[in-house]
Structure 1
Amino acid sequence: MTWTGSSCFVPLVLLFLWRVEEVAEACSCSPAHPQQAFCSADVVIRAKVVGEQEVDTGNNVYGNPIKRIKYDIKQVKMFKGPSQDIDAIYTASSSTVCGVTLETNGNEYLITGRLEADGKMHVTLCQFIEPWDALSPTQRKSLTQRYEMGCECKITRCTSVPCMISSPAECLWTDWVMEKAVYGEQAKHFACVKRSDDSCAWYRGAAPPKKDFLDIEDP
């Protein structure tokens, strides 16, 4: 009886340890408003993905090779970044470590990422990467000027009520509590911009400017 119980206990322990390791390695990050993603990124481009290959990027501390996915791209437009075109982006080989999976059939994407010391562009699941056709007209227009106008503003995500801002230089992002969606109306159609008095407010591009500011105290 003792031997049988021990044999059952060992697999259960191993299963538990495996689950802990799996959770520890899972990719986790808080959603960011598209404007936040733009402002925090080193590079923001519109590009076609035309190829994919697995590449070695050296060894880890245990001597095991580190694999990354290299996506060959054709840059269509750069909204933010270095003077030279980007011809490839790199990402981790697995989604558990925030690796990104992209279609390589020539689809166009908006891609935000960081620039590494060697000049290579690296992307993760925590960055804003969307098919170009899925972007709203306001999001596309905001990439050229409006998002940058609000980079000094702070966008605070509201996850439960009550929630509020702590300074006039903040915009409250309420898509989750209002629509139960990460990317709702504010993400698709609004930008948080700085006004002449250094306060910040939501601005909707489709309406006249004087009626476009949605202050936090408005109903």
Structure 2
Amino acid sequence: MTRYVSSCFITLLVLFLWRVEDIAEACICRPQHPQQAFCNAEVVIRAKVVGKKALSNDIKNDIQQIKMFKGCDQVIHAIFTDTTSCSVTLEINKEYLFTGKLETGRMHITLCDYNPPWEALSAAQKNSLTRLYKSGCDCKIFPCTSLPCPIITSDACLWTDLGTDNGQNLACIKRRDGSCAWYKGLVLPKK
């Protein structure tokens, strides 16, 4: 009998720990450079949140679209976020940069997308949204958290200053020779 109880206890413990890991990892987001977020997103817009409504599985954030940087030809009137641990909390009457996906004609965002308040963006980031980020989508950006960083291919840029705003003001742009490099300017380099 003791062996049976012990066996059941171990089985339950393993099942519990397995589920805790699933729940704990439900919303783990890797650091994402603004250019990566731009390139990976289907839609990138600047918008003001004007209302909020809880639905059965989603939260519908009514928005007033200000500018479309990337995406479809239609005007987006609402942004949806789910009610899980990856849900995004948005303030009404505040402007944001939204990067997200289109699912059945509706824009969806998660906590792992890049959705900062508009006023938190630097002038370099705002300018990069109109041209620089798009021109660098052929380049890859690799985060480097500790030196020495691994050797990467020529079509990539190492992002070494993750904890600062510095790297977020740069854009990884493809050069004439096909290699990629960080660019500090506010406009594209001359070709």
Superposed CA deviations along residues 160-215 of structure 1, whole A, max 9, x for unmatched, are 21103421111000013xxxx1x53111x1000011111100001259959xxxxx
* Structure 1 unaligned residues grouped into runs of 5+: 57-66, 211-219
SS in 1 for 2:138: coil
Superposed CA deviations along residues 60-95 of structure 1, whole A, max 9, x for unmatched, are xxxxxxx1111000000000011010000111113x
1:24 aligns with 22
Pick aligned residue for 2:82 from 92, 101, 109: 92
Distance 2:175 2:109 in 1: 32
1:51 aligns with 2:39: no
Instruction: Report the CA distance shift for 1:164/1:184 in structure 2 as closer, same or farther (over 3 A).
Output: farther
Would you say the 8 A contact 2:53–2:61 is kept in 1? yes
SS in 2 for 1:130: coil
Distance 1:37 1:163 in 2: 22
- Counterpart of 1:186 in structure 2: which amino acid? G
Distance 1:41 1:208 in 2: 21
Instruction: Report the CA distance shift for 1:169/1:71 in structure 2 as closer, same or farther (over 3 A).
Output: same
1:123 aligns with 2:109: yes
Percent identity, please. Answer: 53
Pick aligned residue for 1:185 from 162, 166, 180: 166
Residues 1-219 of structure 1 mapped to structure 2, 5 A cutoff = 17=16, 21-25=19-23, 26-56=26-56, 67-94=57-84, 96=85, 98-104=86-92, 106-116=93-103, 118-176=104-162, 181=163, 183-187=164-168, 189-205=169-185
Distance 1:145 1:90 in 2: 27
SS in 1 for 2:55: strand
Superposed CA deviations along residues 123-150 of structure 1, whole A, max 9, x for unmatched, are 0011100000000000000000000111
Distance 1:170 1:50 in 2: 39
How many aligned positions are there?
179
- Counterpart of 1:27 in structure 2: which amino acid? C
Distance 1:195 1:35 in 2: 16
Would you say the 8 A contact 1:165–1:171 is kept in 2? no
Superposed CA deviations along residues 33-53 of structure 1, whole A, max 9, x for unmatched, are 000000000000000001111
Distance 1:167 1:76 in 2: 38
Would you say the 8 A contact 2:127–2:186 is kept in 1? no
Runs of 4+ in 1 over 3 A off after TM superposition: 19-23, 206-210
Would you say the 8 A contact 1:156–1:172 is kept in 2? yes
Distance 1:165 1:70 in 2: 43
Would you say the 8 A contact 2:127–2:187 is kept in 1? no
Distance 1:71 1:208 in 2: 35
Distance 1:161 1:38 in 2: 27
